[in-house]
Amino acid sequence: DVVQESLLKLLTARYIERCPAPEPVLAAPVKEETTAKKRGPKSAKTNEESETIGQRVLAAAAPMEAQRFLFVTNAEAAVRGEKRMDDSPNVRVGEKRKYDASELDGESSVEEDEVVLWRANFEEFIRRLRHKACIENVRERLDDGAAIVLRAVLEATRIPLSLNHIFEEVMKSKEGRDLKTIIELVQNDEVESIVLKRYGRDAYRIFRLLSKNGHLVETDKISDTTFVEKKDAPKILYKLWKDEYLHMEKLVVAGARQSQFLLWKVKKPTLWEHVLDEMFHAALNLSQRVAYELEKEKENETVNTKDKSPRLNIVVHLFLTKKGLCILILLILVVLPSLNNLITVYVQFINLHVDKQVMSREERLNRLRSVRILLESSLLKLDDALMLFHDFRESSLLKLDDALLLSHD
Amino acid sequence: MSRLQALSSMKRKRPDSDSPSQSLTEHERLLYDLIRSKQDMAIWTRDMKRETNLPDNVVNKSLKSLQAKKLIKEVVNIQNKGRKHYIAADFEPSKEITGGTWYVDGNLDAEFINFLKKHCVKIIYEQKVVTLEGILDTIKRSRAFNVEFTTQQIEEIVNALVLDNEIMEVKSTGMGEFDSVPVGKVCYTCKNKGGLKGEPKMGAMASIPCGVCPQISLCTPEGVISPRTCVYFTKWLDF
């Protein structure tokens, strides 16, 4: 059965997993005599940790690690008859091998007549995408050899079972740190390229200086080091500060002549959140624009098929004259109270009118296709960058450190 | 060129031609002494008028005369470009006034700086890995410039290049390509593989209009500025 085969393949690669139980029962912690030692201590720890009811429910609902990727063919289920779920399956969870029918008999267990629901394993997806992003970045920075090594390292450390202990130790601790550095570098690149494109080369240098420094720098020192005109530096700094890319502090020195100094700094955690915010905003914009372009096309279609009503014609003619423009605006103003609506409708009207006149149907469809491709591929690319800032925030990087330390034992 | 002479940061002092004493009027003498007393700091005309209590036209006339006699000269004070400042002829304006080595007439000598930057990048690219002294040395030997640079000046230029992301500052490991450099010493290497490979990789956000948009904080889905009405989008999607 092709479907079953594909399902199995996905499962063994852990792209999909079992759904958690719909009505979990808070039972006493189940003793697990599963698999290898690695899994054991980890699950024991998880059981102990669940303090709150909420956590315990979730923990109970989530299928045990051993069960997550358990798959039984229908034939086997029928054969086995009744076997409790509590029985420890002798399945080696870590193995990527396909299920052997022989292994199942008499060993693993699943309740009869159980309908198993599957869902996509987001953890795995994100993990893989993360690895891919890091590898690509390393490939850029160093060379293909380094990228291959990194990929091997990342793949290997996922399944601790199959690795040599000593090798593991070295790789894991090094990997964690390297991963963190790579991520920081990529995040920096992303933000710096925004600054370059939005504010210019001088601002780019200034931003990089402050970003590398990490402490407060005075305006004059900035303009000296970055070779920016003393008169221009304050303007650039102010713009960056206003858009929340820089932090500013005033220093007043009371001396013979009271003078005021301005100090500037990049605050990364705050800035990273701000950038993340902008990225979500941009993602929304992209998808909105796609929707808009599609709507426009639909409208074009309907307008084309409708009779060219004489009223519309008159309006169009009026529109083309200056006087007509005013009349049109007044008309709309009367009808719609809010200024917002006025302008939106106006602009949409223009767009509609102009497009309709200028392009043939085929041209329009071609354009639409290119537009969709551009917008949607940009959205995908942006999604990667979003992951970089969302999943790798300082807090989660610290968790990564912890996780690595834990599994190190 | 007086520009390049200024770089050598030697205070030019003309041999004491203090023969102005004969041909100065009383007012001129007063002003001249005042200006001279400020040494390399120069003085603003208004301050001069205040301190000497001389009427405006007298001051102006005297200044013109002194200038003609080449006893004083006008300089641009970078802090206050609108105000006229004067300095005694045998002094060079201080760094605070001029803005530093890289400033000419109150503005950055952009052309010269860029030229020097490009030259340094070329040197670093050719030599793969080079220290500050190495760069200085190469420039000296190439005789491309008829003026000497100090280590500090080259360091400033190189640091700016690092900020431009054109070169990288690294510490020598003593091994491989760093074998000619002692361990731990700071040196510089080119960022891009093959120098002219093209634009550095642009971020995901920077390649869409929103990433570049100055109005992003004003943009809302239903607002005056929105993705639906955005002109930047329209331009971007205009194939």
pLDDT at A83: 33
* Residue ranges for chain B with pLDDT beneath 70: 1-22, 192-200
Distance CA A290, CA A377 (A): 11
The answer to whether position B236 is within a domain reads: no
The answer to whether position B232 is within a domain reads: no
The set of residues, in sequence order, having a beta carbon less than 8 Å from that of B28 and lying 6+ positions away, is B62, B65, B66
Domains of chain A: 164-266 (1.10.10.10), 270-395 (no CATH)
Residues B134 and B159 grouped into a single domain: yes
Q: Is the pLDDT of residue A194 over 90?
A: yes
Mean pLDDT of the A184-212 span: 93
Q: Where among B76, B98, B120 does a domain terminate? A: B98
- Whether residue A275 contacts residue A191, with contact meaning beta carbons closer than 8 Å, is answered with yes
Residues B82 and B129 grouped into a single domain: no
The answer to whether position B60 is within a domain reads: yes
Chain B residues whose C-beta sits inside 8 Å of any chain A C-beta = 78, 81, 99-100, 102, 107-108, 113, 156, 159-160, 163-165, 200-208, 210-214, 216-217, 219, 221-224, 226-230, 233, 236-237, 239
Q: Where among B43, B66, B98 does a domain terminate? A: B98
- Whether residue B94 contacts residue B41, with contact meaning beta carbons closer than 8 Å, is answered with yes
pLDDT at A273: 93
Q: Which helix (H) or strand (E) holds B103?
A: strand B103-104
Angle between helix axes A394-408 and A39-49 (nearest 10 degrees) is: 130
The answer to whether position B222 is within a domain reads: no
Give the ipTM: 0.75
Distance CA B8, CA B20 (A): 29
Tokens of A1: 């059965």
At B2, give phi and psi (nearest 5°): -60, -25
pLDDT digit string (tens) for B41-68? Answer: 888 888 888 888 888 888 888 888 888 8
Residues B124 and B202 grouped into a single domain: yes
Query: Using a CB-CB distance cutoff of 8 angstroms, which residues of chain A are in contact with residue B167?
Result: none
Inter-chain residue contact A285 with B222, CB threshold 8 Å: no
Q: What is the CATH number of the domain that holds B73?
A: 1.10.10.10
Residues B114 and B195 grouped into a single domain: yes
pLDDT at A61: 59
Please provide the DSSP assignment of A221-248 as one string. HHHHHHT--TTTHHHHHHHHHHTTSSEE
- Structure letter (DSSP) for residue B29: H
Residues B172 and B120 grouped into a single domain: yes
Q: Give the chain A residue whose CA is nearest to the CA of B208.
A: A378
Structural domain harbouring B34: 17-98
Residues B78 and B114 grouped into a single domain: no
The number of domains in chain B is 2
CA B219 to chain centre: 38
Residues B113 and B177 grouped into a single domain: yes
Inter-chain residue contact B227 with A286, CB threshold 8 Å: yes
Inter-chain residue contact B211 with A198, CB threshold 8 Å: yes
Q: Give the chain A residue whose CA is nearest to the CA of B233.
A: A289
Residues B74 and B118 grouped into a single domain: no
pLDDT at A35: 32
Distance CA B124, CA B110 (A): 21
The answer to whether position B9 is within a domain reads: no
Q: Where among B71, B98, B125 does a domain terminate? A: B98
Closest chain B C-alpha to A103 CA, distance in angstroms = 48
Please provide the DSSP assignment of A129-149 as one string. HHHHHHHHHHHHHS-HHHHHH
Please provide the DSSP assignment of A148-187 as one string. HHHHHHHHHHH-GGGS-HHHHHHHHHHHHHHHHHHHHHHH
Inter-chain residue contact B204 with A384, CB threshold 8 Å: yes
Convert A306-321 to b/e letters by CB count within 10 Å (16 or more is b). Answer: eeeeeeeeebbeeeee
